[in-house]
Structure 1
């Protein structure tokens, strides 16, 4: 029987081929750990984005927190035994799993995130992306100091790229993750309770806010690259590959622009193969 995290990791691989491509170049034990970590992330994300009532979502996420605690205490439930083995083998921190759950709780509330203050967006990015990075760098074997720095910068770069890619998809469910300050600077607002995500997504001044957020993402990519340059090839290969795919996606988004209506953007298979060849074997 497949565990919950195994099934979720397989769904994650189907939905995020850049992750799958990066993980396939790891040694088998690392690959197994990463797929279970991302399986956990997909499982809790499915709760936050599911059809349950907000109170039920929060209760389900708190049950995940209890099960993570059980894994860390050596009493893992049957469906998380493989994840528990990776927690022990790589010294994965309970606090980072908790942070991911806390990020999902932000998405599970009755009122969707809409034009959050910059500090709230940064906290969200830390929880849903950089916390995953902190788990990942332990599996990659990166030195602790640089590992935490890489998780900080690359996690935020990837998440900001996702936000810029998914503006219309998020607006359809009432979410708008672009920070309030950039929106106001672009002339969108004042943001009040009457504002909705769809109105923000369709606003003619939105491109200016997106340009500002893209610049922040580029800054984080630059910091991440500087950290990766001083790592061994074995530690840096997978995060370098994933970062390159997402940076290519950001470049395509910038080239397309953010005027409404926006065409979907993706990194094609040929470009992905080129990125793989450039980064996987260095």
Structure 2
């Protein structure tokens, strides 16, 4: 999955991809833009690997547009909507794309994201060589996913603690997690069902719905992991009614040492929700045929690492501090990878690990 959405292997381009997909486009940029998804992408089986990588690059480009703070909010919304409309049109509007690149690329502090924006034309040329079915699936994703970025820009009016705003309801949080990650689970399911013969027995609608839960769990994990930094950038994804029930306001969370004891029950409630979503993701993963080892690994890794991250979120004595990093360390990443690879993505072995993680929250 993209979120938190995401191994060894060399890229071999399939017939749907041509010379517009050099190694550095799908792998070199991804490796620098998102090391976690690079692992997931590389372990995916051929036939879906390239399409997933391309879709991720488009998703990351939309995120980069939304996060370009040196451009005013209205302009970012304009370019984000313009970018989304590229996928709604039967033809690519190259002049609009170049205008957006010229406006945004010089303002990127991260060199990998600057390169990604500069290479968007290549990404769209590659997109044009996809099969009609794959283009339709990517079009659907890129109609839904940028709505989450638009929600960030319209729902949160500022970029500092002085502008702090919270989501209004739990339903709003659920909608947000669907836009930015739940829809990826649906897209992922439809893509693997279209290209992997072993998935022909899956009920696509049923598994897509479970895939949505999978994606929501990954995004909620990201929200909880980054809660301190987001608060100081004016964004409180914790719904206001949950805070009110605990006797808190969004502004109270800025004083983490004082508010954390009251916030703990709210945090536990959201961790429980994330784990419930991830547990559905685990059902999704174990439903993948056992011989589809690469697919299983691509799903096991983000779930297990999300569980490890939530364990650290729960245990952190200073989770509201923007300087605190609770991301699973590399040693844990390597342990998860070693366990699952050496066991051949065995369901019994990996499920035992997952169940042990779940016990951390009981």
TM-score where L is the length of structure 2? 0.67
Which residue of structure 2 aligns with residue 209 of structure 1?
266
Give unmatched runs, 5+ long, in structure 1. Answer: none
Range that drifts further, 205-214 or 12-21: 12-21
Range that drifts further, 230-239 or 129-138: 230-239
Which residue of structure 2 aligns with residue 263 of structure 1?
324
2:324 counterpart of 1:243:
no
2:125 to 81, 95, 99: 81
- The structure with the largest alpha-carbon Rg is 2
2:158 counterpart of 1:107:
no
Cα distance in structure 1, aligned partners of 2:78 and 2:144: 16
2:198 counterpart of 1:198:
no
Which residue of structure 1 aligns with residue 75 of structure 2?
56
Cα distance in structure 1, aligned partners of 2:267 and 2:305: 20
RMSD: 2.9
Shift of 1:83: 2.8
TM-score where L is the length of structure 1? 0.84
Range that drifts further, 218-227 or 108-117: 108-117
Shift of 1:48: 1.1
Which residue of structure 1 aligns with residue 210 of structure 2?
150
- Structure 1 pair 257/66, CA: closer, same or farther in 2 (3 Å)? same
Which residue of structure 2 aligns with residue 276 of structure 1?
337
Cα distance in structure 1, aligned partners of 2:130 and 2:253: 39
Between the two proteins, the alignment pairs up a number of residues equal to 274
Which residue of structure 1 aligns with residue 287 of structure 2?
230
Which residue of structure 1 aligns with residue 171 of structure 2?
119
Cα distance in structure 2, aligned partners of 1:243 and 1:267: 12
Shift of 1:34: 1.6
2:232 counterpart of 1:172:
yes
Give unmatched runs, 5+ long, in structure 2. Answer: 1-18, 95-120, 159-163, 194-198, 346-362
Cα distance in structure 1, aligned partners of 2:190 and 2:76: 29
Which residue of structure 2 aligns with residue 182 of structure 1?
242
- Structure 1 pair 47/182, CA: closer, same or farther in 2 (3 Å)? same
Cα distance in structure 1, aligned partners of 2:315 and 2:91: 50
- Structure 1 pair 178/229, CA: closer, same or farther in 2 (3 Å)? same
1:134 to 179, 183, 186: 186
